[in-house]
Amino acid sequence: MTKTAPLRIGISRCLLGENVRYDGGHKLDSVLIETLGRHAEWVPVCPEVEVGLGTPREPMQLVGDPQAPRLITINTGVDHTDAMNRFARQRVRELEALNLSGFVFKSASPSCGITGVSLGPGLFARAFMAHFSLMPVEEEDRLHDPQVLENFLKRVRAYRQSRT
């Protein structure tokens, strides 16, 4: 990696401090921004806002079959599964054109989480990883471990190299 060629990395938008969460807040991850952010050109994505849900909005959870979970609002039971899956399939195709070399997902989200989600991964993360099966992905909290961060950076650089 050179200074003139930052690594283009997708990221769950709330981690950059943008108020896109269901509760109207954000999840700015200063550690991540100060470490990985030095090397990255971020490409932010918020699946729940981009699919057309407002901020704030009712929180959701995954329910049902772990192989094909439904994305349902917790209090009123509205099912956003089909809309989110349609959106995710289209969004990953758009992201293809941006030549990402990795993605940092917000943990424990029914849309973005990889682990720590009941019945996870979240629907967008699931579609992303199915589409970009070789691309390095991580969750923000794991990247606070310097060894995990270093390993992720190595994998991201190797992925970019393999695509040139």
Contact residues: ligand SF4, CB under 6 A: 12-14, 20-21, 46-49, 106, 109, 111-112
Closest to ligand SF4 by CB, 57 or 155: 57
Nearer to ligand SF4 by C-beta: 138 or 160?
Answer: 138
Q: Which is nearer to ligand SF4, 1 or 141 (CB)?
A: 141
In contact, 114 and 107? CB cutoff 8 Å: yes
d(CA 130, CA 123): 11
Closer CB to ligand SF4, residue 113 or residue 136? 113
Residue with the shortest CB distance to ligand SF4: 14
Torsion on CA atoms 164, 112, 144, 40, rounded to nearest 10: 30
Cβ nearer to ligand SF4, comparing 13 with 160: 13
Q: How far is the CB of 93 from ligand SF4 (least distance, A)?
A: 19
CB 2 to ligand SF4: min, Å: 29
